[in-house]
Amino acid sequence: MYQIRRHRLGLRNALLVAIWMGVAPTGAAADIYRYVDRNGVEHYTNVPSRGRRYQLVVRGSRSSRRLGGRGKRRRAPDPGRLTRYDAHIREAARLYSLPAPFIRAVMRVESNFYRDAVSHKGAMGLMQLMPATATAMGVVDPFEPRQNVLGGARFLRVLANQFQGDLVLTIAAYNAGHGAVRKYGGVPPYRETRRYVRRVLEHYYKYRAAPDDAHTTSRSSGPG
């Protein structure tokens, strides 16, 4: 049985987010659809509703990168991705008063720094935002790196505020939903979530202990 050290994320200068929403998965399909409303605003979803004209933009059976499971696509080597989004990470860290190594660790486990990653549940982009979460966090295009990173960091700040800055509970809620964390009074007893928390913390401690540019030495072809 592994043990997790408890840390708290600083709440000073934290953005007080007025909206709150659930993050339970809304479907298992990886197909992603786009809808443009009358004001020209783009909306993304993996569960298109009737009465609206949706455009299929990602087909899960061919275009998705299924994280940690079968059906994973082969990718050309791209070591540059490990530092390509550093500016966005630093910006998000300043804006939402989060440690940059923490944001980087979540991104590493979620997508391994692949901007076009799509999970089997329909989570999208670098921070693997579900369609409802992306919309709530003001993300118009979840595959645009800056929007995705800022949206994911904003959501992490929402969760950190909800759990009084508890790092472990924030990570668990990002994976399993805040409702599950509250239901069990801590990290839910889900194998996936416990493994997720452990992996994020491992990368966080590694990035935090390393020099600013040392994260470039952590190379991996997949999130496994």
Catalytic residues: 110
CA–CA dist 142, 149 (Å, integer): 9
Residue type, 81: R
Q: Hey, is 5 helix, strand or coil?
A: coil
Cα 77 to Cα 63, 65, 80: the distances in Å are 17, 15, 9
What the block records as the tokens of 5 is 């050290």
Alpha-helical regions (H) of the chain: 60-63, 81-84, 86-96, 100-111, 131-136, 145-162, 167-176, 178-184, 191-209
* Cα–Cα distance, 86 to 82 (Å, whole number): 8
Q: Which residues, 6+ apart, have CB-to-CB distance to 4 below 8 Å?
A: 168, 187, 197, 198, 201
Identify the residue whose tokens are 């200068």. 13
Please choose, from the candidates 48, 54, 19, the residue with its C-alpha nearest in 3D space to the C-alpha of residue 34: 54
